[in-house]
Chains A and B, each alone.
Chain A
Amino acid sequence: MKNIAFIMEHTTSRNLRNILLVYMLEVVTIFILIYSGYAKSVVPAILFLLMLFVWIHAYRIKKLVSQGTLNRILLLPIKRRSFMWSQLIFICASICLFLIILYTSWFSFHFLLSSDMTFQEILGLSYIVPSLNFLIPNTFIRFITLIIYVILLTVQTTELSLFIALKDKIGWTGNTVFFSWILVNDGVLTINDTFTLVCDMFMIVFIIFIFRNINKTIGFRQKKVKL
């Protein structure tokens, strides 16, 4: 744990400013969409911003590689997986904060821009906006699906960032694109509980697959040496 915290501190602190810029951009985008009456387009907009995220993380890891930081970390007498976990936790947190900002700005801007709406009315509206009802889960299955989706986005962003940084194809990146697409496409992921569960299973399989890819291809798996 100490090692993870140590690595995270040294690999991420320089790029916090860029990530904060994306959050500011997100708040401005949501404000503009609600103000101009295009609130229904909020999900495609935030998916576009999520792609910016991938780019920022890829740029960050690329810099780590080019400056030799990655090599120096790997030379330290610590578990090599610590680096992977530090990146996963950081990327996961950045995505989570992204969604938290989405929730807070979505509700608060509605309060500000339409004074006669109650919280329940805005919540009802959120259930109706296509795809947003997926991000604001009203059943336990949808809640679990959202958590799995965030984990999938995390491992996929990590994988893609490493792929870009190391200029090495380490896996198929189409699956997140696929799930993002069906999320945008009128919230089809929540069509019914059975379909949602099937999607969950697929996403878990993808997560395991990508996780193994990250673990194996970059060579973080520690070799046992027999003496």
Chain B
Amino acid sequence: MKKIFLLSITIIIAFVGFAGYFLFLDKDFYTNLHDISGDNHVMDGITWKGYNYSNYDEYQVQLTSNKARIAIRDEGITSSQEDDVGVAYKQYYEHKEDDIISSMIYVDTCDYTNEDKENLNIRYALTFANATANEIYFLNTNLVGHSNEVYTLQKKTSSCQYKGGVPQYQYVEMYNQVDASENLHYMDISSSLDENNNYVSQGVPPVFLKKDDTTYYVMPITDEYTQGMVQVYQLTLHQKESNRYGRIDTIDFITLPENRIYEDMKIIDDNFVILSHTDTNLYINIYEKDGQSKREVVIPYVQRDENRKLRVYVNDDCYLLYDSEEVYVIDMKQGELKERIPLTLNGEINREDTTLYYTDLLYKNDMLYVATAHDKYVETFLVYKNQELVYEGELNMHVYDALITLNTYYEGYFIREE
């Protein structure tokens, strides 16, 4: 008589039990590294940590050897673990591009002529994360960012800045005279204002390192057309109120050797590591924290493509330089080039229309580990030994034909041993 009633009550209780059961499950989930080629034993002992943002949840991914643990961050991740990742971020990725909004070339008048262009120094417009949006600090450099043969100036009347009805300064656009349509050269700078007079810029920012909340270091990135003395500037910010900066002191901190192309700077163990090159040599200059030159390592180098910029990665006694196609492993103890590894791919992602983003490099046990993300939203790990690709594997979840992935890029870093 009561069969359906009892069944209904049982089902309702079962449902509450089912749904409640999910609460007590391990919030983390695990997946394996999916091999594309090679044996994944080479990943033993390698730990990689990253973040992923997906479907309103934030995930923390930790790859240990070939097993990935993916944890939802709002549950199950303690604050100390977050700090752990934060430290890794600070230590190896000092670039704080959020702090800087634009770098552009200004003219001090709104009525300039083509003859003025020789005197146009590069100025960087900087803003700081805890300052208000309108507080912009202009950093003047000694560099002239063009030559008459290569660039032409485009006047942009809409961007003239007035103060009390008096024209103050103006942004200018610089285009390559040879081919104005191909505006790809990295020093090309274009900028404009939006409706609210906010700065909208697509310029190449200088290297911008944050030492602490009040001390920043700025080094211009140069190219073969840049003329003048390159300096590392130290900015000291005097905090006036809780969310505004008052006076900013600029010191010409390090004067760098001339006639070089400067590419990157990092602060490693309180030392400044500056990367530059000429047509024949590559230089790694190390300066102490007071700006005194400590060491210079010179390596033969030929730049193949001026659009490929070198970046420094630090790995204990080795420095890794990569330019998207090759990695230079430099033994800093010996001061010589240890290995030169061409980056090649075997798997599906080896397509011309695929853009690879190298997120981190690690050199360990004579093997080079490369973490990449590409436009299929997958983290791919590449391992090279003796200049050959020995392993390639993806961190994603293959389920039947349709690939369901964590649907944003991973942002991650190899964990170095302390």
Contact = CB atoms under 8 A, between A and B. Distances in A.
A204 B12 CA distance: 19
Contacts of A67: none
Contacts of A84: none
Contacts of A92: 8, 12
Nearest to B25: A123
Contact of A128 (B18, B75, B406): B406
B18 A8 contact: no
Contacts of B6: 5
List of 4 A-B pairs having minimum Cβ-Cβ separation, nearest first: A37-B402, A124-B29, A96-B15, A93-B8
Given A100-B14, A188-B56, 20 more contacts: A5-B6, A6-B1, A8-B4, A8-B5, A9-B1, A9-B4, A9-B5, A37-B400, A90-B8, A99-B15, A103-B18, A118-B30, A120-B30, A124-B31, A129-B404, A138-B25, A140-B23, A143-B20, A143-B23, A147-B19
Contact of A8 (B8, B54, B74, B404): B8
Contacts of B134: none
B75 A93 contact: no
Interface string A100-138: 100100000010011001101101110111100100111
A89 B4 CA distance: 10
A96 B7 CA distance: 12
B55 A133 contact: yes
Classify the interface of chain B: helix, strand, loop or mixed.
mixed
Nearest to A1: B5
Interface in A25-46: 34-40
A76 interface: no
B3 interface: yes
Interface of A: 4-6, 8-9, 12-13, 16, 34-40, 86, 89-90, 92-94, 96-97, 99-100, 103, 110, 113-114, 117-118, 120-121, 123-125, 127-130, 133, 136-140, 143, 146-147, 150, 186-188, 190-192
A16 B4 CA distance: 10
A124 B397 contact: yes
* Most chain A beta carbons < 10 A, residue from B7, B9, B55, B398: B55
30 contacts: A4-B5, A5-B1, A9-B3, A16-B4, A35-B400, A89-B9, A89-B12, A93-B8, A93-B11, A94-B11, A96-B11, A113-B400, A118-B30, A120-B29, A121-B31, A124-B70, A124-B397, A125-B397, A127-B55, A128-B55, A128-B404, A130-B55, A138-B25, A140-B23, A143-B22, A147-B16, A147-B19, A187-B55, A191-B56, A192-B56
B112 to A, nearest CB: 50
Contacts of B55: 127-128, 130, 133, 186-187
Interface in B180-231: none
